[in-house]
Structure 1
C-alpha cells in the first residue's frame, strides 16, 4: 500500500489492522472513481477562484485528472491494493505527475466530503437509470395492453374469482411502473444537493467557492450545513434503495404471477426460451429460473437498505462505521438494476395460451356480474348477492368472457382501461 495520507512519523502500522480498515474499500471505490475525479476537477477550479492554486496549476491538475479518468476507463490505471482508497489514489497520481501542485489538491476538503459528493453523483446517475428502466417496462406493458383482447381468469386468495383480461393485467403493471419511475425521479431530485466543500463536517477557514462547484457538478442546490452533510450519509442512500425497492416489489409480484402461470396446472404463459433453463438430471424439464430469480431479487435490495439502516445508530459527525454503507449500496443497487434490465424484453416476448385461459373461466366466475346487474335493476345488493351465490354454479349460462369484460365500465376496468391517461403520465416523465 502506498504512503497513507494520514501516516505520522514514527508510528508503525500493522498489516492485519490495515487490511481490516481498508476492507473492500479499494474495490468498491472503482464504482465511484470517475465521479470522484469529476468532483476533484470542480474542486480545483474552486481553489483557483480563491487563489489557492494558480490558473496554470489548475489547468495542469485538470488535464492530469482527465488523463487519469481516460486511463481508468481504458484499463491503463488500475485501482488496487497499492492504494488505501480511491481518494488517496487520485492524490498520489497528481503528486507523482505534478509535485507540489498535486499536493495542494486536497486543500479545503476531506475524504468525508469526497466520498459524499462522489456517492451523490453516482446515486443521481443510478436513480435516473432506474427511472428509465421503469419507463421502459411501463411502455412495453402499455403497448401490450393496447393490442390484446384475451380473457384471463382473475384471482383473489389464489382462488378463481371473476373474469379479467390480459390487457387489465398489463395495465396494472404499467401503472405500477409509472409510479416507480416517478418515485425514482422524485428521489433523485430530493438528493440533488452538493456536499462538496463541507470538508470533515464543520467547514473550513477558506472562502471555498461552493456555488461554483454546485453548478459545475450539475447539482440543483447546495447542501448547506456541514453537519447535515454528514447526517445525510446513509439517509440519502436508504432513500435511493427505497425507491428501488418500490420497483422490486412490483417485479416480485409480476414474477410470482408468471411463476404460477407457467406451471402445467395453469399453463397460461409460455416464456421466451432464453428465459428458461434445463434440469441437471431431468431431461424433460425447462425451468423458469430467470423468473424465479427475478422474484427473489427484492431480497438483496431490501437487505442492503436494512444493512445501512443498522449502521446509522450513530451520533452526529463522521464515524468510520459509515464505510460499510458503500458495499451494501453498490450490491443492492447493482443487483436491482440488473434484474430490471431483463423485464422489458421478457414482457414483450411472453405469449399467452388462450385455450387454457378460457378453459379456466368457470360459470361461477360470472356470479358477481349477476349480483350487480340485479342490484342495478333495483334489488337490494345484499339480496342480489345471496341469490347469485346460491345459483353460482349456473351463473354463466348464456354468458361469455367478452360480454363480461365489455360490461365492466368502471374507470380503469376492462371496458374503460383509460390507457391514454397512463400514456400521458408516461410521456410527462419521459419529457
Structure 2
C-alpha cells in the first residue's frame, strides 16, 4: 500500500490492522471513482476562485483529472490495494504527475466530505436509473393494457378463484404501480440533491470556500448548508434512496409471483420467451422460470442493505468509522436491484398469454359477486342479496365479456381510465 494520507513520522502501521481498517474500501470505491474525480475538479475550481490555486495550477489539475477518469474507464488506471481508498488514489496520482500542485488539491476538504459528495452524486445517478426503468415498465404495461383491455383473466384472492378480471386490469395495475415508483425515485433524487462538498470533516474550514460554485458545477439543486448536518445526514439519505428502490422491487416481487404462478402447468396462462428460462441439470423435460424467480428474490438485497445501514446509525454526532460499511450495502442493493428491474420491460413486452387456458379457468362461482350486486341494484338489501347469491344453485356459467362491461366503477374493467395514467406518465417525463 502506498504512503497513507494520515501517516506521520514515528507512527507504526501494522499491516493486519491496516487491512482490517481498509477492508474492501478501495474495491468498493471503484463505483464512486468517476464521481469523486468530478467532485475533485469542482473543488479545484472553487480553490482557484479564492486564490489558493493560480490559473496554471487549475489548468494542470483539470487536465490530469480528465486523464485519470479516461484512464480509469479504459482500464489503464486500476484502483487496487496499493491505495488505501479512492480518495487517496486521486491525490497520489495528482502528486505523482504534478508534484506540489497535486499536493494542494486537498486544501479545505476532508475525505469525509469527499465520500459524502461522491455518494450523493452516485445515488442521484442510480435513482435516475430507477425512475427511467420504472417509466419504461409503465409504458409497456399501458400499451398492453390498451391492446388487451377486454381479454378475460381469472381474478384471485387468497389464491382462490374470485371474480372475472381482465388483462386490461392486470396491466393497468402494474402501469400505475410503476408510475408511482418512478415518482418516488424522482422525488427522492430531488430530496438528496444537496451539495455537502465544503463541509470538510463536519465543522467547516478557515477558508471562504466557494460552495456556491461547487454546487452549481456539480449540478446540485441546493447546498447542504450546515457542515455538521452534512455528517449527520450520512446513512439517512442512503436509506431513503434504498427505500425508493425498494418500492419498485416490491412491485417487481409481486409481479414475478404472478408470473411464477401463471407459468406453472396448474395455471398455464403465460408462455415466457425461451431466453427467460433455463433447463434442469438432471430432468430433460424441464424449462425453469429462473429469471422471474431471481427477480422475485431481488428485493432481499435492498431490505438487507437498509437494515445494515440502519444498524450503523446508533451514533452520536460527528464522523465515525462505522459509516464506512454503508458503501457496500448501497452498492449491493442497487447493483442487484437495478439488474433485475432492467430486465423487466423486455420480459413484459414479449410474454404471451394462453387465452384458452384463461377462459377455461372461468367457472360459474366467479359470477356470484356480479349476481349479488345486480340484485342490490334492483333494490334488495345487499346482505340479503349476498346470502342468495351464495347459493350454488343460482350460479350459471356467465359471459365474461358481459361481466367486464358491467364493471363500471372507476378503475374497473369497463372504466380503466388509461388516459389518466398516460397523463401522469407524461408529467413524469417533464419532472
Task: Please report how far the alpha carbon of residue 393 of structure 1 lies from its aligned counterpart in structure 2 after TM superposition.
Answer: 5.0
| Cα contact 1:197–1:210 (8 A) shared by 2 | yes
- Corresponding residue for residue 415 of structure 1: 414
Deviation readout 1:193-217 (Å, 9 max, x if unpaired): 0000000000000000000000010
Deviation readout 1:295-339 (Å, 9 max, x if unpaired): 111101110111111101101000000000000110111110000
Deviation readout 1:45-85 (Å, 9 max, x if unpaired): 10001101111101111111011111111111111111000
Task: Please report how far the alpha carbon of residue 18 of structure 1 lies from its aligned counterpart in structure 2 after TM superposition.
Answer: 0.8
Task: Please report how far the alpha carbon of residue 8 of structure 1 lies from its aligned counterpart in structure 2 after TM superposition.
Answer: 1.0
- Tell me the number of residue pairs that the alignment of Structure 1 and Structure 2 aligns: 429
- Corresponding residue for residue 240 of structure 1: 241
- Corresponding residue for residue 104 of structure 2: 104
- Corresponding residue for residue 23 of structure 1: 23
CA distance in 2, matches of 1:119, 1:417: 41
**SS of the residue aligned with 1:263?**
coil
User: Where in structure 2 are the equivalents of 1:283-302 lying within 5 Å?
Assistant: 283-302=284-303
CA distance in 1, matches of 2:291, 2:157: 25
User: Where in structure 2 are the equivalents of 1:157-168 lying within 5 Å?
Assistant: 157-168=158-169
Gaps of at least 5 residues in structure 1 are none
| Cα contact 1:150–1:167 (8 A) shared by 2 | yes
User: Where in structure 2 are the equivalents of 1:184-203 lying within 5 Å?
Assistant: 184-203=185-204
Task: Please report how far the alpha carbon of residue 395 of structure 1 lies from its aligned counterpart in structure 2 after TM superposition.
Answer: 2.2
**Within the alignment, does 1:406 sit opposite 2:405 as a pair?**
yes
User: Where in structure 2 are the equivalents of 1:88-167 lying within 5 Å?
Assistant: 88-148=88-148, 149-167=150-168
Q: CA RMSD in A?
A: 0.7
| Cα contact 1:364–1:394 (8 A) shared by 2 | no
**SS of the residue aligned with 1:152?**
strand
Relative to 1, partners in 2 of residues 1:330 and 1:393: Cα closer, same or farther, differing over 3 Å? farther
Deviation readout 1:109-129 (Å, 9 max, x if unpaired): 000000000110000000001
- Corresponding residue for residue 327 of structure 2: 326
| Cα contact 1:252–1:294 (8 A) shared by 2 | yes
| Cα contact 1:363–1:393 (8 A) shared by 2 | no
Gaps of at least 5 residues in structure 2 are none
**SS of the residue aligned with 2:155?**
strand
**SS of the residue aligned with 1:164?**
strand
- Corresponding residue for residue 232 of structure 2: 231
What TM-score do the two structures reach when normalised by structure 1? 0.99
CA distance in 2, matches of 1:342, 1:79: 29
Task: Please report how far the alpha carbon of residue 430 of structure 1 lies from its aligned counterpart in structure 2 after TM superposition.
Answer: 1.3
CA distance in 1, matches of 2:68, 2:380: 78
Task: Please report how far the alpha carbon of residue 11 of structure 1 lies from its aligned counterpart in structure 2 after TM superposition.
Answer: 1.3
CA distance in 2, matches of 1:265, 1:344: 26
What TM-score do the two structures reach when normalised by structure 2? 0.99
| Cα contact 1:44–1:61 (8 A) shared by 2 | yes
**SS of the residue aligned with 2:199?**
coil
CA distance in 2, matches of 1:393, 1:272: 42
**SS of the residue aligned with 1:200?**
coil
User: Where in structure 2 are the equivalents of 1:364-379 lying within 5 Å?
Assistant: 364-379=365-380
**Within the alignment, does 1:425 sit opposite 2:409 as a pair?**
no
Deviation readout 1:4-36 (Å, 9 max, x if unpaired): 000010111111111101100011100001000
**SS of the residue aligned with 1:342?**
helix
